[in-house]
Structure formats: C-alpha cells, structure tokens
A and B are shown apart, each in its own frame.
Chain A
C-alpha cells in the first residue's frame, strides 16, 4: 500500500489512489481530494459525502447510488450533476472510502 502526500501530510492510499484508512480523513482533506479531481465543494456536495461517511462504519462498504438515494434521500440525477460522469466513484474518492463494489 503506497503512502502519498496530500494537503501536506502523508496519507495511506491503495494503488488507485483511494484512501485506505477511514480515520485519516477529515473534511479539509476531502476538500483537497475534490480539488484533485476538479470539483469545488459546496454545501450541496458535502451533504451526500457526509451521508457516505456516516453510513460506512456499520456496513464496512461504501454506499451505492441506490443506497444514497433510498436511504440517504439524495436524487441520483442531482448526484450526477454534482459529481459528473461517475458519481459513485467520485463521491467515494472524496469521502476517503473504498471504491464502491460493482460487479462480482
């Protein structure tokens, strides 16, 4: 597992760049991660990120878009506008969580 410098401090990540330690994350770091992928965070961005962070510990896996929608109450269409292209993957990256599991 590589370690990388983000926002001036060493952060453990996996080979793709997703954070590998839940506890190394804070919102300041989340903001830096968002900048790295070209997203300027607003309150509308933070709401689903906070949901993902809160949802993760009990389940041990990152919420899918469907879960963010049915449990978190976020419209999937809005998530596509806030995090264009691949919202599930981008939200996980910013939230410092593993990439959501897709096909197995």
Chain B
C-alpha cells in the first residue's frame, strides 16, 4: 500500500485528501494529513471582519469536520522533512514515512521581517488582517478610529490574495462614509508595485476606482523601516508616509520547517514546476496552495484548480499511466469594492485579467472587472461554496479548471506576446493618474520608444520606462 502524507490541512490539503480518498480505497492508499491545530479558518473571511460583516464564528470550523473518514489527521507541529529517507519528523518525535509528500502549509505574515513593524505601535496603530488574531485586533481598531490618516500598505510581493489590500481599501472607504468620518480621513494606498496592480487592464480599472474614491496611490514604495516615534513608513529611497492607522500586509513567508529541511528559497517557498506543481528538487514531493512558486496569484481558486490537475496526474501515475495534465495558472477572484458591489478577475499564466462577461459571453451573469451587485453576492455566496462544495471535493458548477477566453474582451495593446490569442476592442483612454501621496524628488525619465511589433531590426534600442 502506498503512503501519501499531506502537510497542511487548509484549503489545498483538505481538498487533495478528500478527492483522493474518494477515488482510492483505504487498502490502496494510506492518507495522512498533518496540521498544528484543529481550527480550519476561512481565510477570505478575514477581510470582512474589521467591518463587522463576519465575526470569528463565521470563519472558524473544526478541521476534523471537513476531513473525510479514512483519512488520518495528525495534530502537531512539523519538525523537518528528510527527502533522502522520505520521512517527515514531527515535533513530538513521531516519524511519518511517505511515498508521495504534498506540501500545503501555505504562507503566513511576518511582521518581524520589517524593522519597526513589530515595535511599540504594533497592535495599537499598526495592524494586519492576514491572520485571525490580526483581523480581530483590527476590528477593535476600526471601531475606535475617529478619522485621520489611514494608510493601507503592502510590504513586498508575493502575498496571498494580492487583491485583498485593495478590497480592504474599498471597504474601508465605504465604511468610513457610512460612519460619517470619510471627510475627516485621508486614505492612502501604498504598494511596492508600479501601479495599482501589475497587469495593465486590471491596473487601469482599479486605478480608476481609486480616483473615484479620492484615494491617494503611492507606487514603487519599498519599505525600509517604520519609524515608531514619528509614525511614518520610510522607504529605501527616503520617502516618508505618516499614518494614524496603518493597515499593512507584512512580508509573507512559507513555514519554517521548509527552511530547516533545506527545501525552500529565501521566502521559504518550495520551487516547483509551473504546470505539475512537482518540486524541482525532489520528484516525490508536490507543492499545492500558497507554499510553492507558481507564478500566479496565491489564492484559494488557484489551489482549487491546481488540486484538480494534481489529482488527475496522481491517479494516472498510481494506475501506471503517464501523467498528462498541466495547470494553466488559472485564477478566479471576486474583488469587494464596497457599497454592496464587487468586481471579478479571471486570468492565467498567459492571459491577463480583462473586462467582459463570466462565465458565459453576453449573459454572464458576472461582469469581469466591473463593479456590480451580483459580483458582491457571488463573493458572499463563496463562503457557503467553500465549506459545502470546495473542501469536500465536490464539483463547483460553471467554473472550469482551465481558464476560458469566452466572454473576455481582449485588448490588443496589452495582450501578452506570443499567446496567439485573438484581440477585440481598442484600449480606451487611460484614467487620470491618482494624486501622489508624497512629493518625491523629480527624476529624469528617458523617453520611451514606441513598442515594436514587427521582426525588423530597430536601429535604436528600446529603453524601458523606469
């Protein structure tokens, strides 16, 4: 009998365990799931807690309840993984031997990685919402907030759910208006990226949404430290942004046992194949969910689609057939935009998020990258889908594992080169740039040469826009 050990009983780990348990009998495959505790948190719910939309009881369930019979659940910390002997050393001294190992322990916020983040202001005027205690503390801070400078900040990419800080900003704007303190509050969004989002069409639509809400955007901000005496974010290039309430997304890192086992990169992420999620260093190890280096969003939808691919391939190999499925990087994310509305993103490795209808052309019913009430309802409905369909491994209607181009309005100027995808409408005029939050010293910018589209040899070099 083969032994499968799954490290992490979160979104990805629970789905893999249940799907494989349903496919193979207990006499064929022994499945063990390891996690440190019995609390399964619905992580997308953290975002809603500070605004009183969800409370702790909406978000936390027992892991046991979602892990099917016939799966062994071991609750303890992980010591190390020894790939040479295919053994997991648990913190309590037990050893687990495996034939196949799935690493699905995700990433967690590390406020201690940025000087001054974890200092005397931590928990009073500096908060985060990427953990349950963080979201609970921020809920109290929002209740006490009476106006001033609210700064929403991303420390460094990659982070899980890369649109969550933007959603927090939109929800905060809405919440402040409802509490009649928006006019007394300056809201600033601070990002290490060069725009509201890196993908051009989504960045344009989200930048417009920031302008509409009079939210300042500060880009290319690489935080060096947080000054606890002056309550300022300080960047490596000397910019300072003052705050009365800072909601930051600390550096996200994989679990420490990955570093102890020599399996990770500088962020404790396990380097893995982009299509099979197989560890590049150890073929019997696979990485699912946020723990690996897939170049797509760290999000539950990605975990879901990647798990589907992994399960197909696992069963093929289990039955002596070559594994033929490949993951396309598909992500599907609802974005809360406040005031009872939401947007929707759908993209993969080669196709960026576009506007359009989802999942069907014209009829939708969801609108991509547009604020609609139905998108918001879709987001709230997802909590039910998560507990009742996703974790048990049941199919989710209408959402395919591979991304579809149906209904998407592809924009020629921004289509990733080499995808061979059709293009449709022209790029509409860009929105006015959001006002900067600080005034950095002006820097001379080299003129950009127009984009080349043919194979001719250009006499002068193309100089990137910096």
Bound CA–CA A59/B293 (angstroms):
11
B124 neighbours in A (Cβ, 8 Å): none
Q: A1-32, CB under 8 A of B: which get 1 and which 0?
A: 11111100011011111100000000000000
Q: A71-104, CB under 8 A of B: which get 1 and which 0?
A: 1000011001000111001100100000101111
B297 neighbours in A (Cβ, 8 Å): 104
A104 neighbours in B (Cβ, 8 Å): 158, 162, 198, 295-297
The answer to whether A54 has its CB under 8 Å from any CB of chain B is: no
Q: Once the chains bind, are B266 and A67 in contact (CB under 8 Å)?
A: yes
Tell me the dominant secondary structure on chain B's binding face: loop
Bound CA–CA A104/B443 (angstroms):
28
One of B158, B222, B265 near A65 (C-beta < 8 A): B222
Q: Once the chains bind, are B266 and A37 in contact (CB under 8 Å)?
A: no
A50 neighbours in B (Cβ, 8 Å): none
Chain A interfacial residues counted at CB < 8 A: 39
How many residue pairs, one in A and one in B, have C-beta atoms under 8 Å apart?
106
**Nearest opposing residue in chain B for A83, CB measure:** B466
Q: Once the chains bind, are B417 and A15 in contact (CB under 8 Å)?
A: yes
One of A5, A66, A99 near B461 (C-beta < 8 A): A5
**Nearest opposing residue in chain B for A99, CB measure:** B464
Q: Once the chains bind, are A102 and B193 in contact (CB under 8 Å)?
A: yes
Q: Once the chains bind, are B266 and A70 in contact (CB under 8 Å)?
A: yes
Q: Once the chains bind, are B466 and A2 in contact (CB under 8 Å)?
A: no
Q: Once the chains bind, are B236 and A80 in contact (CB under 8 Å)?
A: yes
Bound CA–CA A35/B464 (angstroms):
13
**Nearest opposing residue in chain B for A20, CB measure:** B417
Given A4-B457, A17-B462, check contact A86 B194 (CB 8 Å): yes
22 contacts between A and B (CB under 8 A): A1-B455, A2-B455, A2-B456, A3-B458, A5-B457, A5-B458, A6-B461, A16-B465, A17-B449, A36-B446, A36-B463, A37-B446, A37-B466, A67-B266, A76-B222, A86-B194, A102-B192, A102-B198, A103-B193, A103-B198, A104-B296, A104-B297
B residues lining the A interface (CB < 8 Å): 156-158, 162, 192-194, 197-199, 220, 222, 224, 236-237, 265-267, 271, 295-297, 417-418, 443-444, 446, 449, 451-466
